[in-house]
Each structure stands twice: as C-alpha cells, then as structure tokens.
Amino acid sequence: MPEYKWNPQSLLELSNGYWQTSVLHAAIKIDLFSVLDEQALRAEELADKIGADKDGLQRLLTALVAIELLVKKDDCFSCTRSAAVFLSRQSPLYLGNIIQHHRQLMESWAHLDEAVMTGQPVRAAYAGDDPEWRRNFLLGMHDLAMLLAPKLISQIDLGGRRRLLDLGGGPGTWAIHFCKKYPELQATVYDLPSSRSFAEETVACFGLEERVGFVGGDFLLEKVSGSYDVVWLSHILHGEGPQEVRIILDNVASVLEPGGLLLIHEFVLDDAGSGPLFPALFSLNMLLGTPAGRSYSGEQLFELLRDAGFKDTQNLDLDLPGSSSVIAAKV
C-alpha cells in the first residue's frame, strides 16, 4: 500500500479528537482541577464533595488520567503539575475562562456544514447579550493576554510615545502591560459599555487607575474622539468584514497624530491562501459566529491600510508563540 499523509487510523483520530476536548471542557465546567489541586481524593469522596454521580465521575477521572491531566495513586486522584499551573483557579496562570469560552463555541461547530452552504452564521453574536458568555470571553481574553503580553511587548519599542488607545481592549490587559513597561504612557481602553466593569476591576488589580481609563462606545457606529500617538488593535479586525474594517481604520486614522503608530495584532493568513492552520480554522470560527468576519492575509491588511491613508506598513519580525502576527503602520 502506498504511503499517504493521512491513513485510516490518523483520520479516525482526527474525527474523534473532540472526545478529548469534551473531557477537558467537562472537567473545567465542574472545576475538578481546582478541587484536586487542594487535596488528593478518591472518586467517591470527590463525588460527594461536588454532588456528582460516582460512576459518571469515575469514568471522567479515568479519562483525565489517561490524558495525563490527573494522576492516580492508591485510588486517590490529584492534579498533574501542568493541570495545577494552568487549570486550577488558584493559579495566576489559569486558562479556564478561555476554555469555557471554547466550550460555548462547540455547538456551532457541529453546524459548520450549514454555515458553509449558506454563508451565514449559525450562532448569535456574543457581544453582551449573554452575561456568562460575555464574562467567559472577556476573562478568557485577559488570561491569554496575561500569558502573551510580557513576551510581545518586550519586543515593541514605544519609547517617547505618551498616549495609547487600546481600541476594543475589553478588560484592558494589553493597555495595562504597555503602561507597566512604559511609565510615561497614559492609556485609554475603548470598548462596549458592558466591558467597563471588567476593565475597571482589572486595572484596579494593577493599581493603574490614574493611568488607564475606560471609554464606552461602539467604534462601528460612533466616531472615536481624542488624540493619540499609538493605537493598539488586538484581535479586532477578524470579527468584521472588509467594509467594517475600513470604518475602523478610518476611525483610527482620525485620532492618530501625525507620525502616530498603529499596531495590529491578528491571526494572519499567508498571501498564497494555504495556511497557517490556526488562522484558517479561526476564519471558519468567524463564519460560524459573525456576518462577515474572517482571517485576513497580510496582503489584504496592507491594502486596507493603504486605502485608509496609512504608510510605512510592515509585518514586524517578532518571536511570538502560536500563529499571531503584529503589523505596524503610520499616518
């Protein structure tokens, strides 16, 4: 038999890979890792503690041991080191909020064929209608930014700049980290009014209330006011179609001072349209949930920036984990 990139076994593993994903999602939803980070427990003890069916819980625990997120010793279950660091609420590196957001997306992915055939989203927009959805999304964005911001910001020079606009900044995590690195910087987080409490709470945790403010509004419906010498746009453009992206970029150009810097942080497709994998998958995620959102290629973003009057456009050569990129441009 000739060798193939994919074989029956690997295709079946790809097909049922969501089973492992569902195990992780269920464990996060019932907060198993936080409980087992505090003490090792037998299945029946844990079932009594969280009010679960013993047999159902035993099966879940066995799967988590097989996945190597839990360990079992003398019939007691406890977290692996990785689970304790990233999946327990007691940890400052907790990723449970973004994982719960991923869980909320799963139902729509089961209807991907419908979205492909109709070109229409199959889930409701998540911008504020469901409080739990919004909370998981905002806190999940905070979790991810807490991991990535120190590494990314250390590679970006904002020396001499004084006023930063974090457009669509949600909980304000990026603005906070920019201000931590640059003591002379003042920042404004602009997002929907429903994000205000999350942003103010996050800013207060870092003691930056005097330097990071919040303005509520919708940058697709309202003109952003103020004057800034740097604007940060992190994972905003993929939620919109080209027409809306033009509105956003025009809005940014109107508040940037001459010589002002725009930084776009996005999942960027290659110009050949052949990947990378995560931006390609993320573009489908936008098809499922937005009327026109998508992942853009670098060439597409450069053209949109030129149309909005930006110049000196470049893809920054940064050492970043994952598949994100940062594009810089000036007015």
Q: Contact, 122 vs 108, CB < 8 A?
A: yes
Taking the C-alpha atoms of residue 214 and residue 189, their distance in angstroms, rounded to an integer, is 5
Residue 142 has pLDDT above 70, yes or no: yes
Based on the residue annotation, tell me whether 235 is a catalytic residue of this protein: no
pLDDT of residue 319: 86
Q: Are residues 144 and 269 both part of a single domain?
A: yes
104-108, 129-133, 171-175, 179-183: segment of lowest average pLDDT:
129-133
pLDDT band for position 128 (50/70/90)? very low
Q: For the chain, what is the domain count?
A: 2
Taking the C-alpha atoms of residue 302 and residue 310, their distance in angstroms, rounded to an integer, is 9
pLDDT band for position 2 (50/70/90)? low
DSSP-derived secondary structure for 152-196: HHTT---TT--EEEEET-TT-HHHHHHHHH-TT-EEEEEE-GGGH
Name the average pLDDT for the chain: 94
Q: Are residues 227 and 172 both part of a single domain?
A: yes
pLDDT band for position 135 (50/70/90)? confident
Residue 44 has pLDDT above 90, yes or no: yes
Taking the C-alpha atoms of residue 7 and residue 309, their distance in angstroms, rounded to an integer, is 50
Q: Are residues 268 and 146 both part of a single domain?
A: yes
Q: Are residues 26 and 140 both part of a single domain?
A: no
E strands, 192-290, are 212-216, 228-234, 256-269
Tell me whether residue 103 is in a domain.
no
Residue 192 has pLDDT above 90, yes or no: yes
Residue 163 has pLDDT above 50, yes or no: yes
| Parent domain of 81 | 8-94
Q: Contact, 267 vs 279, CB < 8 A?
A: yes
pLDDT band for position 320 (50/70/90)? confident
Tell me whether residue 102 is in a domain.
no
Q: Are residues 257 and 156 both part of a single domain?
A: yes
Residue 40 has pLDDT above 60, yes or no: yes
Q: What is the pLDDT of residues 213-245, one digit of tens each?
A: 999 999 999 999 999 999 999 999 999 999 999
pLDDT of residue 134: 84
Taking the C-alpha atoms of residue 143 and residue 16, their distance in angstroms, rounded to an integer, is 28
Evaluated on CA atoms 215, 219, 222, 228, the torsion sign reads: positive
How far is CA 13 from each of CA 10, 196, 238, 258, rounded to the nearest angstrom?
Answer: 5, 43, 30, 54
- Nearest Cα to Cα of residue 208 among 166, 180, 168, 230: 180
Q: Are residues 120 and 252 both part of a single domain?
A: yes
pLDDT of residue 197: 93
Tell me whether residue 49 is in a domain.
yes
Residue 66 has pLDDT above 60, yes or no: yes
Taking the C-alpha atoms of residue 180 and residue 141, their distance in angstroms, rounded to an integer, is 18
Q: What is the pLDDT of residues 68-91, one digit of tens each?
A: 999 999 999 999 999 999 999 999
Mean pLDDT over residues 30-45, rounded?
A: 96
Q: Are residues 207 and 322 both part of a single domain?
A: yes
Q: Are residues 155 and 34 both part of a single domain?
A: no
Q: What is the CA radius of gyration of the chain?
A: 22
Residue of 101, 102, 235, 238 marked active site: 238
Mean pLDDT over residues 175-192, rounded?
A: 97
Instruction: Give the 3-state secondary structure of residue 40.
Output: coil
Q: What is the pLDDT of residues 300-312, one digit of tens each?
A: 999 999 999 999 9
Residue 127 has pLDDT above 60, yes or no: no
249 token code pair: 């970029």
Q: Are residues 192 and 64 both part of a single domain?
A: no
Tell me whether residue 225 is in a domain.
yes
